[in-house]
Structure 1
């Protein structure tokens, strides 16, 4: 049996799940496509997370696209982080092309163009369905990790949350949090000290600077109401297709703090909200995190630990996380070790550092007699990738150099008009784009401060009035009646005594 026939048999048997699956493409050997040797990913193991990596322009985004649209057809919703702004085309069917037909003929698959139901979302100023969260929903622990504060400062944040809970002060946005911190060392200093102990102004000052740093990255637009309900990420249309939720993030590439804040809050909310699923036949939701290095850039050790913990635990909720990045080394080892599906596009060896990275990347894949993995990594073409998946029992499937299928939807973006119409037609737009600014901690404390100032002014006026009255009484008591003054004068007394003396004679 030739190497070609042997590999064909291994791939066909190794990627032949009993349950439902998606098809990535067909295996290749020495540049030749093994028609019909389909590389399939079982839906059962897609909550085991994954990695899509490769150099710029090698087809990572299109790989993400073909996975998301197939999941949609299976009734599985997905969430896509659109950093480059090139994923909205999933909402429109492909126009087709002879090269697409030629590719699918090699793979041994029919090609049918179709769109997917899409929701366009945003956490910034871009047009879309607004995704927000309140400061209270973050909680003191998660917020402290996002702000990267000291242990002492984290304790103060916990006290602030406790004070707001005890006094029924809603913490909705960052202005609320700043106002409470200012109140704690200002007007409310004695109140805080009596109930919770002394709070240092230097510590609250440091926390306020951290909050301002977060605001400068646009977090003031993310914190507030109305809070996004994560159950709206797992909707299906009337045909039973899962929604592809595209979050537009093209304007936050230079704001990694905001991106990691949003991602961590979303993952934490999903984990706390979704029920346990165990080993279900298919995932509840798949999340694709494009330009994944933005999550880990500038992340503190505590924040990385939090992310790693969530990655480990969230799969039991039926959630799969797929990180999309240029190089696997962009992902911390603790997270990388949790990823069951690995799709590796071509890497470029321009420098000694690149060649070293390629050797390290090759070691992440199962050994195979059919491929020199490090060599294949530099020779893959656009729309080709090395794939290592998990079978339905959680075992690594054979390594397969794969000619990937083409997306069934458009490979370019929607026009501005198409995008606006899509957003306007969504039933979620009215729900989340309404501006809500109800009374919260900032307004309540401001009223309290103003009342305290008014009371202080009144008290001062009262004291001044009392002082003035006392002073006036003192002056009155020392001022004698003119008649008494005359009667008690020395000259008057001498005159009276003289008259009495004469009378006695």
Structure 2
């Protein structure tokens, strides 16, 4: 090296050399950016995440406007290029640009020069979805049976007692073959189980109080009044669609559009959890693999944890812990690590922390708590985290051996796709040209619990009931029934209505041909989610 070059590139201090060695991976990895040291960007020291470690989960955190969304986009592009499918929740409506090439400008070119990035515009293969069709994307629906009582209780904001009662209702419906496809099915089952006829059905497994049933029905009515009905129904979305790759081998980026339900945070955060729980329910164990089968970004993660019951958090923690062995990586995206419960945070091995604010006592408390979650480092992290610019972050990941890497102040690369939304016409065209559009676009309302209970009620209503004061009908003499089966000797008109309904041919057939089959096939996951085997 010529003397003048050596003078212009002073030797790195020992601390920076140690950081550099911590990110010198030999296998495939994602490039996040270049090390920042003493106000200088060191492009020869690249900060990276080993590809096999992406299923060890992660956290992307930072205050509003610090660049979290662009970080997601940067990671998603590289995962797609490596053949890994990605799921992104588009909360603000600005992630759709991942599907089209970016637009070069001076800021992008300057960033690329700083970090020695060979920036070329490029988009990813993408599918666009919308909850219940509320938006431009392909409708994503779940049946009530599949969604399960635990997640539905969180959406309806039920307490623990009410959640347990809802679980009892689902248990009954599962075993009687009463499929809960939409909300009217659930209402019908609740109404039946609180009727004089239906109360007998739950005596052996604990009853359903009228007061609790009333709360559940009122919560359902309020939920529907807010326009929530379209999210539950058929055709139910098959979460295996999220695991697809494009014809050129790149991973599909699935973008769930959520601006239309921004004012319903409990709904969309719980629906994201259903997607994750359903994947967990279906995927086989794969152990440690060369690359993840899917990386799932869980945006606005704090909404999932707010007001969550202990049982809910325990199930979530266990799901996150176990889904790693099924090849799925989960990144929680929120403002501070404090938003994530400690048991979950402990499982997030990869961390990208953008700037934090410290304007209030609560901000300062959150800042100190965030610093304590990082490994020891040569940085004064309280000072660093409040001084980061947009597109800069503090990073620590898991090395190829699974050990935490040194904390690295990083200037992040620029995404190569469009950093903003695509126009509505282009989005609609992309959705309608998708092979999935014809499969999910139109809602279907087939026979399920509501229709079956209505039919059984009609059977009961048609049964003759003796008029008060009417003389008993004459019947031909017959032998007394054996003592072990006295009920067989009772006239049909003296049977209770519940026996007419539940004992009718329709219900017996239902219990034999449908109920038994579905009862055997329904196995609920940690979150109580379920679906028939595919």
- Give the TM bin, normalised by the shorter chain: 0.7 to 0.9
In structure 2, how many angstroms separate the alpha carbons of the residues matched to 1:289 and 1:261?
11
Paired residue for 1:222, among 228, 231, 236?
A: 231
Cα-to-partner distance string for 1:382-430 (whole Å, 9 max, x where unaligned): 1111101110111111111111100000011100101101101111111
**Structure 1 range deviating more: 418-427 or 221-230:** 221-230
Equivalent residues of 2:233, 2:443 under 8 A apart: no
| 1:259-274 paired onto structure 2 within 5 Å | 259-274=268-283
In structure 1, how many angstroms separate the alpha carbons of the residues matched to 2:16 and 2:199?
77
In structure 1, the residue matched to 2:341 is 332
In structure 2, how many angstroms separate the alpha carbons of the residues matched to 1:102 and 1:303?
46
Cα-to-partner distance string for 1:217-273 (whole Å, 9 max, x where unaligned): 554222211111111101111111101101011122322221233122212111111
Give the SS at the match of 2:36: strand
Cα-to-partner distance string for 1:165-186 (whole Å, 9 max, x where unaligned): 4433222112111101101122
In structure 1, the residue matched to 2:56 is 48
Aligned-residue offset at 1:68: 0.4
Structure 1 residue 279 corresponds to structure 2 residue 288:
yes
In structure 1, the residue matched to 2:441 is 433
In structure 1, the residue matched to 2:354 is 345
Give the SS at the match of 1:99: helix
In structure 2, how many angstroms separate the alpha carbons of the residues matched to 1:63 and 1:376?
19
In structure 1, the residue matched to 2:498 is none
Change (3 A) 1:322 1:464: same
Structure 1 residue 28 corresponds to structure 2 residue 9:
no
Give the SS at the match of 1:463: coil
Aligned-residue offset at 1:372: 1.2
Scaled by the length of structure 2, the TM-score of the pair is 0.82
Change (3 A) 1:144 1:326: closer
In structure 2, how many angstroms separate the alpha carbons of the residues matched to 1:144 and 1:292?
18
In structure 1, how many angstroms separate the alpha carbons of the residues matched to 2:135 and 2:24?
43
In structure 1, the residue matched to 2:402 is 394
Change (3 A) 1:80 1:201: same
Structure 1 residue 189 corresponds to structure 2 residue 198:
yes
Give the SS at the match of 1:447: helix
Give the SS at the match of 2:12: helix
| 1:432-451 paired onto structure 2 within 5 Å | 432-451=440-459
Paired residue for 2:47, among 39, 46, 56?
A: 39
Aligned-CA RMSD value: 2.5
In structure 2, the residue matched to 1:131 is 140
In structure 2, the residue matched to 1:491 is none
Q: Unaligned 5+ residue runs, structure 1? A: 470-505
**Structure 1 range deviating more: 437-446 or 351-360:** 351-360
Q: Unaligned 5+ residue runs, structure 2? A: 1-8, 474-534
In structure 2, the residue matched to 1:482 is none
Number of aligned residue pairs: 465
Structure 1 residue 57 corresponds to structure 2 residue 65:
yes
Paired residue for 1:237, among 238, 246, 261?
A: 246
Structure 1 residue 171 corresponds to structure 2 residue 180:
yes
In structure 1, how many angstroms separate the alpha carbons of the residues matched to 2:10 and 2:367?
29
In structure 1, the residue matched to 2:99 is 91
In structure 1, the residue matched to 2:412 is 404
In structure 2, the residue matched to 1:300 is 309
Equivalent residues of 1:11, 1:38 under 8 A apart: no
Aligned-residue offset at 1:64: 0.6
Cα-to-partner distance string for 1:189-232 (whole Å, 9 max, x where unaligned): 36526765654322322332343354455542222111111111
Cα-to-partner distance string for 1:356-391 (whole Å, 9 max, x where unaligned): 32222112212222x211111111111111101110
Change (3 A) 1:243 1:273: same
Radius of gyration: which is bigger? 1
**Structure 1 range deviating more: 158-167 or 445-454:** 158-167
Equivalent residues of 2:151, 2:270 under 8 A apart: no
Give the SS at the match of 1:112: coil
